[in-house]
Structure 1
Amino acid sequence: MSNDPREKPNPKEKTGNGVGRILTAILIFQLGIGAMLVLGDVQLGRLSLPGLGPNAPRLTEPVRPGDQRRTYRPERDRPPTQPARDPGQLPERLMLTQIEGATYRLEGAVAEGDGARVKKLLSEATPTPETLVLQSPGGSVQDALELGRHLRDREIGTQMLAGEFCLSACPYILVGAATRDIDDSAQVGMHQHYFGQSTILPASFAVEDIQAGQGEVMVYLNDMGIDPMVMTHALATPPDEIYVLLPEQLREYGFVTQED
């Protein structure tokens, strides 16, 4: 480029520089707006980030009336009560093992495909299962619903022992049983779920999936004789937390089979 001050500037260069500055300004403006929206969501409790937003106690802390939401990471968090037995590391999918006679233990995470797989295990078990001792951190909602309906059709009961837990999608298996016996020190917890939503799809499709899934769950609970109002606690609790139902709530919402 010449340093001659008499040389006229190229108008194309000025135009290009001007466009570049405008695009840069627009980008900075958009980033600023995005940052303010994210900060607003965090402050309003709509978005949880490490070290930001609501700070619920961990699940290891005792639960009291009105203080029932706990942080929940299945691989880390366990209830504080002493269990009837130490389960160790729970299986990554449901496992069926015989305890005695027609009483079996169903334990582990609810993996995709476990509905059909466990139904097959139950049909092949000898003697025919009458009661399942249940313990699970949850998992696939659709598989839990499928398995719960199968338990009701087969008139199989469920039982929860002292200090053991049934969280996330697990309660849908629990309530599907024909009879339900839950020790007062066992923990049953619920929260919001994902229903196959894809981050690739537009947000409107994800919302439709969630609403349809929640509707299916409420119909299921009603069919099982459970008060669907229990979902008010689940819907108000984000997926990284769990709402633990108190023994009196389990009876109020119909989780515990009442003796005639």
Structure 2
Amino acid sequence: MGLIATANRVPLPRVLGLVLMGQLGIAGYLLYADARDWYYGPRGGEVSPTITEPASPGDQRRRYLPTTVPSREGRPGGPVRLPTTMEDMAFTFEDTAEHGRVMLMSGFIAPGTSDRFEAALDGEEIDTIALHSPGGVVQEALRMGKLVREAEYDTLLTPDAACASACPLILFGGVERTVSRAAWVGMHQASFMEGQSFLTGAEAARQIQALQGQILDHTAEMGVDPRVQSHALQTPPEEVYYLLPEEVEEYGVATVLTE
């Protein structure tokens, strides 16, 4: 009775104004959260806290932190220098005895990265693309994977290198795919990034399903067993499923598995 009486004393325009202010407050917070995650999530940050125990059957999920990727203590890396930060993707070159002329692609896959990648290849004689990336924009990774295959490059993951989220789509593009047992290949569900928070549930579902169809087609076209994507589909975006070396081999993610 008291609540009803109180409500009756509040003018309707004022009630509607308070509701509108609350909705605007929620919208403002969501925009802030998106901006915060965009700035502090996939940009900047140290490569990783050490993971002291390797993934084992039944214990392959880890929290996904875009600014951190797993590494193992005591390993010097591979034939190309690994980065110490995760900024927007950088392209560096190094001549190696084992893999020829290598382009190391390290960092986050952002909007426009595939155009930068294509430009970086212009005039360069490349044999192998080495990867160290927490992932990023799926459409960019799909295009980069196709560019790798069209140019008939090999791909490489050295010890302690990580290729997670959208990054494996580039790895799959290699004609020969060399993966160290001490590298990390991580899979999870595709998700929306900034600017897409206000899609309806139905529209978001349609777009995600269409995108997943492109991912499955790309995986098969590159000669990798599409069953590997079942691990991605069962792993939410806030987690990563790290493939065991035997899974990397079984699904054809690697054509050559090294120590």
Give the TM interval when normalised to the shorter protein: 0.7 to 0.9
Report SS of the residue matched to 2:172: helix
CA pair 82-123 structure 1, distance change in 2 beyond 3 A: farther
Instruction: Describe how 1:38-49 pairs up with structure 2 within 5 A.
Output: none
* Residue of structure 1 equivalent to 2:237: 239
The alignment's TM-score, normalised by the length of structure 2, stands at 0.73
* Residue of structure 2 equivalent to 1:210: 208
CA pair 77-96 structure 1, distance change in 2 beyond 3 A: closer
Check the 8 A contact 1:164/1:186 in 2, yes or no: yes
Which 5+ residue runs of structure 2 have no aligned equivalent? 16-48
* Residue of structure 2 equivalent to 1:229: 227
* Residue of structure 1 equivalent to 2:160: 163
The alignment's TM-score, normalised by the length of structure 1, stands at 0.73
* Structure with bigger gyration radius: 1
* Residue of structure 2 equivalent to 1:80: 72
Check the 8 A contact 2:68/2:134 in 1, yes or no: no
Output one character per residue of 1:169-222: Cα deviation in whole Å (capped at 9) or x when no partner: 111100111111001111101111114682222111111111111111001101
Deviation of 1:81 after TM superposition, in Å, equals 4.9
Deviation of 1:123 after TM superposition, in Å, equals 2.0
Instruction: Describe how 1:59-208 pairs up with structure 2 within 5 A.
Output: 60=51, 61-85=53-77, 87-100=82-95, 102-125=101-124, 128-195=125-192, 198-208=196-206
Whole-Å Cα distance in 2 between the matches of residues 190 and 200 of structure 1?
26
Q: How big is the alpha-carbon RMSD for the aligned residues of Structure 1 and Structure 2?
A: 2.6
Whole-Å Cα distance in 2 between the matches of residues 188 and 77 of structure 1?
10
* Residue of structure 2 equivalent to 1:36: none
Check the 8 A contact 1:59/1:72 in 2, yes or no: no
* Bigger RCO of structures 1 and 2 (CA < 8 A, at least 6 apart): 2
Check the 8 A contact 1:92/1:111 in 2, yes or no: no
Q: Which amino acid aligns with 1:140?
A: V
Which 5+ residue runs of structure 1 have no aligned equivalent? 1-15, 25-57
* Residue of structure 1 equivalent to 2:43: none
Q: Which amino acid aligns with 1:63?
A: A
Check the 8 A contact 1:110/1:143 in 2, yes or no: yes
Report SS of the residue matched to 2:104: strand
Check the 8 A contact 1:148/1:176 in 2, yes or no: yes
How many residues get paired? Answer: 209
Q: Please say if 1:17 is aligned against 2:17.
A: no
More deviation, 140-149/250-259 = 250-259
Q: Which amino acid aligns with 1:153?
A: E
What is the percentage of aligned positions where both structures have the same residue? Answer: 38
